Structure 1
Amino acid sequence: MSTGGGWQDQVGGIASGIKIVQTKPYMEQDVQAVKCSISDATIAELNDRFAVIYTGQRRLARNLLRDVVTRYITNEPASLEAHYNIRQLAALMRFELEKGNVDGFAELLNQHWQESQRIDSGSTNTCIDMIFMSIDDLCAGKMICGAGGGGFLQVVLKKGVTKADIRARLNAVLQDSGVDVWDCEFV
């Protein structure tokens, strides 16, 4: 946590389950991790349809986050609007999951990805774009993990698509690149 990056991923990883992480805009943070009320059936569907993809790239979020923070504190209108939209999308995503609508959640995840790219074009790169393009017809939703620029991607698969289908496509298109589907589970 001393790399100049954010703290939200670490907070999210401390407690189990799907949650919304909130804080107030003050120097001294009072972080709240509010657990979402999601049915066992929806968790089971997410476990079947959610995949984490390793990009084969490593990156340090510090540089990306420096640009994001600079655009935010200088009140750049597009950045402020995208941050506002992401906050709204988070509430809607929680609502869709709590009512058991994984496809609605996936569509909002796509919108979040678009807003993230408005905040910082460096959140994606040629490798990430190629991975997403190669599996786009198999996915209902997609997003990066963390600040982007490498690391991991997350996707919600279309109904009937398996993680093995994603892995086979990635291996066919991006042979020997290190890109792979990793096992994951919501707990």
Structure 2
Amino acid sequence: MIQGLGTSSILAGAVIAVLWKASGKTFDNLSLIHAVLHLEQMLTTGGGWQDQVGGLMPALNIGRSEGKLPLKVTVSPIQVSKETQQTFDDHFVLVYTGKTRLARNLLQDVIRNWYGRLPQIVTNCQNLKENAEVCAKAFQEGNFEKVGDCMNIYWTQKKVMAPGCEPQLVRRMMDALLPHVYGQALAGAGGGGFMYILTKESGAVQRVKDILAGVEGTENITVHSVSLDQTGLEVTVEDDVEES
């Protein structure tokens, strides 16, 4: 499993989509988002809906839900130019930290902190929401320095929600990369898995590899270039091929 990239939710969405398609049901990605949320709770994995929004929908989006039950997720596309999309692809890098973790353990701490209703936690949740809106606007404007600022703020906020989500190795990696990036954070629940960075230099995969090679404990890391998926989840049915 690719930790931190929402693959459990994406896999669940793909399985449900295939089953619905095979049974003749009609559906859209918004239905899938809610179905996966329900499935994650049944499996006690503690997942939310953000992974489905990010992994099942095409391009850039922002998801929202009101603080009431039943929970209803809405998804709004973030309109950006093709130039902005290409620039993002050229500057966005994924780094596998080589450190595994179990997301459920970290998420349980987050839920306990929220149930405690400590003022610091409640305020932090509001700040998380506001930062997401600022980040969406920065994408629309093609302001990647501001996007990077939002990433850094988000990582600080995540550490408030889940103390211990930043291993010492990750801190050393981030410190080494700091002069070369606009922003960086661990994906998913944190604690390991993948780190994503927005570099100041385009096409910086090799540069990132060289920098991290000088950090103690990074023997198992891998560095990857990525690009925005413009399609989202699609289910196709192939016609049976007669044997010759």
**Residue 115 of structure 1: aligned partner:** 157
SS in 2 for 1:121: coil
Cα deviations across residues 154-183 of structure 1 (Å, max 9, x unaligned)?
A: 111014571210011112324662112123
Whole-angstrom distance in 1 between the partners of 2:52 and 2:191:
18
Instruction: Tell me the alpha carbon deviations over residues 9-50 of structure 1, each in whole angstroms, 9 at most, x when there is no partner.
Output: 133201111111111223322122211001111111111111
Moved more, 5-14 or 69-78: 5-14
Distance in 1 (CA, whole Å) between partners of 2:165 and 2:65 is 23
Q: Does 1:145 align with 2:187?
A: yes
Asked which structure has the greater CA Rg, the reply is: 2
- Give the TM-score normalised by structure 1: 0.92
Q: How far apart, CA to CA, are the structure 2 residues paired with 1:122 and 1:184? A: 28
Q: Contact conserved, 1:140 with 1:157, CA < 8 A, in 2?
A: yes
Q: Structure 2 CA distance, aligned partners of 1:176 and 1:66? A: 28
Structure 1 CA distance for aligned equivalents of residues 116 and 218 of structure 2: 43
Specify every segment of 5 or more residues in structure 1 that has no aligned partner in the other structure, as ranges. Answer: none
**SS of the counterpart of 2:80?**
coil
* 8 Å contact from structure 2 (residues 53, 61) kept in 1: no
In the alignment, what sits opposite 1:23?
Answer: 65
| Aligned residue number for residue 35 of structure 2 | none
1:97 and 2:139 aligned: yes
Residue segments in structure 2 that go unaligned for 5+ positions in a row: 1-39, 230-244
Letter in 1 for 2:56: I
Aligned-partner SS, 2:148 = helix
> Residue 176 and residue 96 in structure 1: after superposition, are their counterparts in 2 closer, same or farther (change >3 A)?
closer
User: Once the 2 structures are TM-superposed, how far is the Cα of residue 88 of structure 1 from its aligned partner?
Assistant: 0.5
SS of residue paired to 1:11:
helix
AA aligned opposite 2:168: T
CA distance in 2, matches of 1:63, 1:140: 30
- Residue 181 (structure 1) aligned to one of 198, 202, 223: 223
Do residues 8 (structure 1) and 50 (structure 2) align?
yes
Percentage identity across aligned positions?
A: 26
What is the RMSD computed on CA atoms of the aligned residues?
Answer: 1.7
Paired residue type of 1:182: H
Structure 2 CA distance for partners of 1:129 and 1:78, relative to 1, 3 Å: same
Distance 2:46 2:138 in 1: 33
Q: How many residues align?
A: 187
